[in-house]
Structure 1
């Protein structure tokens, strides 16, 4: 779950929002290229040549320091789930990424631990009672 927070927040970085796209690049290609930019896999999963074909000018991927600096600005993030949070570590992880508001259906046998963790981090937790995920 923590990678979702990272990728979604990094996608809001001013460098991502101002990428110099070539014309006729499909939305799905843009999305995949942005994932490469924010994830740090350039050179491993995609070659530099393939990467540069999407842009009108040179674009450097984020450095580890740029990634850390931008992620430290996350605050007042809202998180929702279509199923319950089964373990406290989900809340611990959410806290690391600035989550302050959580909505989940509740219903876990460990709801008391989740409530305690949210209280510990001064998070607002709402149990909606509506579960959208079914097996």
Structure 2
């Protein structure tokens, strides 16, 4: 196997090991033992099937809405339980920008049809907003809202 492929498989394995309950790590390990195939393959297959079903049911709009809501909601619940107030501020800021964007999107819904790859851009934008490396929500808040 190519060394870069092995590195990628190891990164995905490390990721799913970091979230054992959500990713069903123990079940994936059992599948790996039974079939002899890496558990990463089953994880990627499962994510692909779920994504295809979501896309088939609601199209790219549903995918973009879930990308902007599911992970941030999960992290917001984790922030509520943590004693550190900085993550509370980060996620509260995200939700303020999310609400502002959602209202603007609903008011200007006629523009959605005119912008090519709108939902792909929306997914990238929301990812930029909440990704810890960029923390775009804080930047947007300071530049536009404040």
TM-score, with structure 2 as normaliser: 0.25
Larger RCO, structure (CA 8 Å, separation 6 or more): 1
TM-score, with structure 1 as normaliser: 0.26
Larger proportion of helix = 2
Larger proportion of strand = 1
